[in-house]
């Protein structure tokens, strides 16, 4: 990468030429360089772009005529999204771009999100959209470090209102490209899922010992977006081992809560051949967004209002059994060793005797189903303690040390 940072600017230049050109000009005014990519289908930009719609279609193995003949704009733009994402990855791989920014309504945003996912963690990715932060955008469409700004007043035409959003985004993506410190690979990274330390505390027991062993430890907050980021990095092979010890997002997915990390949760580390230690931390609870009404089916269960953003109900024994079966099914597809730790004394801090979520019958059902469903080659280990006790973390470290000794987990790059 050169000292002059180059930003890829993506959009439909046939309908948004003025807005996209404004962004390009602001980046250049600030000392950056631009590569423009047109993802239009029917029309043409007022001035040629660096990457034409014909180039984008060709990168998807199509001609623009093929795209037009797709029959509707949804299928047409999905074809263009394939080509745009492929070209985005290629440009970065060749060292030609340092970041990207895309503009759009729902159609353009849909395409640009694919381009963001084509870039690795640490590459600045900005989306200026009329639907930024909208529930229309599911968590599994977002790359781990994507940045978004609402394109206020930007549905049609350039004006002083939307210039505010566009100029901020232009400065932000260029500034990020200049300031970013990309993840280094000097030490192997262990990815760990957890929740806040009031609920799950093992990260306090594990981080320092793992770092002493030569690992870098990255802890992900398993509240939807954190699990999604964890899965994205696992898919990229970023981890040498995964400590997936907090699984509330799977229960949330099962019951339809919006606080989930997508349908591929607990699958990507195994598919990438990354060894995993898994435990059902906080898998007894269902998380709901603070603004959500608790469904009637869950109103008579143990309840905890964590703050104004998130509140939790609980899974009943049958639901816990179904969740353990789902966990087993996902782990059975893994291409590397998997250890499943079942803490017999409780799976989160409120699941202790006298705690608001303590449910001996529910925990017993989870333990019993783990004994039934978790079979070789998955290694089931029962730990006679609570998940937040030091003995649980000690067992995790014992497995890590054995895997290091056996060459399953490598400490050196």
In a domain, 349, yes or no: yes
Q: Is 67 helix (H, G, I), strand (E, B) or coil?
A: helix
CB 167 within 8 A of CB 146: no
Given this model, what pLDDT does residue 375 score?
Answer: 95
**Residue 5: CA atoms inside 13 Å, Cβ hemisphere, count?**
23
pLDDT digits (tens, 9 = 90+) for 103-114: 999 999 999 999
Same domain, 90 and 237: no
Residue 277 has pLDDT above 80, yes or no: yes
Given this model, what pLDDT does residue 413 score?
Answer: 64
pLDDT mean over 32-58: 95
Entry pTM:
0.84
Same domain, 172 and 253: no
Same domain, 28 and 46: yes
Given this model, what pLDDT does residue 33 score?
Answer: 98
pLDDT mean over 71-98: 95
Question: pLDDT > 90: what percent of the chain?
Answer: 72
Same domain, 194 and 164: no
Q: How many domains are there within the chain?
A: 2
pLDDT mean over 386-407: 97
Please choose, from the candidates 244, 341, 359, 344, the residue with its C-alpha nearest in 3D space to the C-alpha of residue 300.
359
Q: Are strands 285-289 and 189-194 parallel, antiparallel or unpaired?
A: unpaired
Residue 292 has pLDDT above 80, yes or no: no
pLDDT digits (tens, 9 = 90+) for 113-143: 999 999 988 899 999 999 998 878 877 788 8
In a domain, 184, yes or no: no
In a domain, 411, yes or no: no
Residue 377 has pLDDT above 60, yes or no: yes
Q: Work out the mean pLDDT of the chain and round it to a whole number.
A: 92
Same domain, 269 and 359: yes
Given this model, what pLDDT does residue 1 score?
Answer: 47
Same domain, 222 and 126: no
pLDDT mean over 204-224: 95
Confidence of residue 356 (pLDDT cuts 50, 70, 90): confident
Given this model, what pLDDT does residue 291 score?
Answer: 80
Given this model, what pLDDT does residue 182 score?
Answer: 77
pLDDT mean over 283-305: 80
Q: Which residues contact 198 (CB under 8 A, 6 or more apart)?
A: 349
**Domain housing 96:** 6-179
First to last CA, the chain: 24
């Amino acid at each position: 990468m050169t000292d002059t940072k180059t930003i890829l600017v993506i959009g439909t230049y046939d309908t948004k030429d003025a807005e996209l050109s404004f962004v390009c000009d602001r980046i250049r005014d600030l000392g950056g360089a631009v590569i423009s990519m047109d993802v239009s289908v029917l029309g043409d930009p007022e001035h040629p772009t660096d990457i034409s719609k014909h180039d984008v279609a060709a990168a998807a193995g199509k001609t623009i005529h093929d795209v037009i003949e797709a029959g509707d704009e949804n299928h047409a733009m999905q074809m263009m999204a394939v080509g745009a994402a492929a070209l985005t990855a290629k440009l970065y791989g060749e060292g030609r771009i340092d970041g990207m920014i895309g503009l759009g309504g729902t159609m353009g945003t849909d395409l640009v999100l694919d381009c963001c996912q084509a870039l690795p963690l640490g590459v600045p990715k900005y989306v200026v959209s009329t639907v930024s932060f909208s529930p229309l955008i599911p968590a599994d469409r977002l790359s781990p470090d994507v940045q978004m700004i609402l394109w206020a007043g930007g549905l049609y035409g350039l004006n002083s209102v939307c210039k505010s959003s566009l100029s901020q985004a232009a400065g932000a993506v260029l500034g990020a490209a200049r300031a970013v410190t990309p993840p280094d690979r000097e030490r192997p990274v262990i990815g760990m899922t957890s929740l806040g330390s009031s609920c799950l505390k093992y990260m306090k027991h594990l981080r320092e010992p793992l770092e002493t062993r030569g690992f870098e430890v990255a802890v992900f907050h398993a509240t939807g977006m954190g699990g999604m980021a964890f899965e994205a990095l696992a898919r990229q092979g970023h981890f040498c081992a995964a400590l997936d010890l907090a699984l509330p997002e799977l229960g949330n997915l099962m019951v339809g809560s919006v606080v989930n990390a997508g349908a591929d949760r607990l699958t990507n580390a195994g598919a990438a051949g990354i060894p995993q230690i898994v435990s059902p931390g906080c898998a007894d609870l269902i998380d709901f967004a603070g603004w959500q009404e608790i469904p009637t089916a869950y109103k008579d269960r143990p309840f905890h209002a964590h703050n104004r953003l998130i509140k939790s109900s609980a899974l009943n024994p049958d639901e816990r059994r179904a969740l353990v079966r789902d966990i087993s099914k996902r782990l059975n597809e893994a291409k590397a060793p998997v250890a499943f730790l079942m803490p017999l004394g409780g799976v989160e801090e409120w699941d202790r005797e006298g705690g608001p979520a303590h449910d001996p019958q529910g925990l017993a059902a989870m333990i019993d189903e783990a004994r039934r469903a978790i079979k070789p080659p998955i290694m089931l280990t029962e730990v006679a303690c609570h998940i937040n006790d030091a003995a649980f973390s000690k067992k995790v470290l014992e497995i890590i040390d054995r895997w290091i000794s056996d060459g399953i987990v490598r400490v050196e790059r």
